[in-house]
Amino acid sequence: EPEVTQTPSHQVTQMGQEVILRCVPISNHLYFYWYRQILGQKVEFLVSFYNNEISEKSEIFDDQFSVERPDGSNFTLKIRSTKLEDSAMYFCASEGLAENIQYFGAGTRLSVL
Amino acid sequence: AQKVTQAQTEISVVEKEDVTLDCVYETRDTTYYLFWYKQPPSGELVFLIRRNSFDEQNEISGRYSWNFQKSTSSFNFTITASQVVDSAVYFCALSEDYSSASKIIFGSGTRLSIRP
């Protein structure tokens, strides 16, 4: 069964460092998303991406965040200068055309020290 | 304003009991989607169901059933004859835009514990 793959499963970084979280969406999917979940809290939308550009972003997704689809398979989330409060589980999701179902990856746990 | 409320923070039942997880939503839109996702202890988010706002038929899938009541803006989830493997956090969610690339708004989740 096709699935969304995220790497790494756990990333530890120092405050102020740049991190890149990687996602391989389901093949043939066209819409891509990043969400985050601070420990013990609800899942929050960060950004959606379609046709090589951002479709929508939340207030959380400030100038420190960027997304990219550098090739035909990867979808990345970059945090330029991490803060302690960026520590969370980051989920990637993808969606097929006219499907309206987002399939999530297993997440990357980001720990900022 | 769009909002999803899951008033039950935690529920604990004994195996084989039936359990209902409540979900109440708010939206200004007439067209929208409702979802349930399961987050087991391993952490991933597992899609369970999608329901569009025009389809108020209840749905049953094995031991799972969903009751969508537009009049009360509720989309409740019932597990019949619960099992220990059902232990997880369950999120109800809303997507206001009928088109794709639309964000999902999650509720705060209900932690369900099934005791053997």
Q: Using the predicted structure, report yes or no on whether residue B100 has a pLDDT greater than 70.
A: no
User: What mean pLDDT value characterizes chain B?
Assistant: 92
Distance (Å, whole) CA B16 – CA B79 = 9
Query: What is the structure's pLDDT at B29?
Result: 87
| Mean pLDDT (whole number) for A12-41 | 94
Contacts of A62 (CB under 8 A, 6+ apart): none
CATH 3.60.15.10 assigned to domain A5-11+19-96? The reply is: no
Question: Of A54-68, A90-104, B9-23, B54-68, where does the model show the most confidence?
Answer: B9-23
Q: Which domain holds residue B101?
A: 3-115
- For the stretch A30-64, pLDDT in tens is 999 999 999 988 899 999 999 889 998 999 999 99
List the CATH number of the domain containing B74: 2.60.40.10
Chain pair A-B, CB pairs under 8 angstroms: 66
* Interchain proximity A30–B43, CB inside 8 Å: no
Question: Domain count of chain B?
Answer: 1
Residues 11-50 of A with CB under 8 A from B: 30-31, 33, 35, 41-45, 48-50
Query: What is the structure's pLDDT at B55?
Result: 86
Contacts of A3 (CB under 8 A, 6+ apart): A26, A103, A105
What is the residue extent of each domain of chain A? 5-11+19-96
Out of B45, B101, B102, the one facing A104 most closely (by C-beta) is B45
Query: What is the structure's pLDDT at A108?
Result: 97
Distance (Å, whole) CA B69 – CA A47 = 30
Give, as one character, the DSSP assignment of residue B99: S
Burial classification of residue A32, based on how many CB atoms lie within 10 Å of its CB (0-12 exposed, 13-18 middle, 19 or more buried): buried
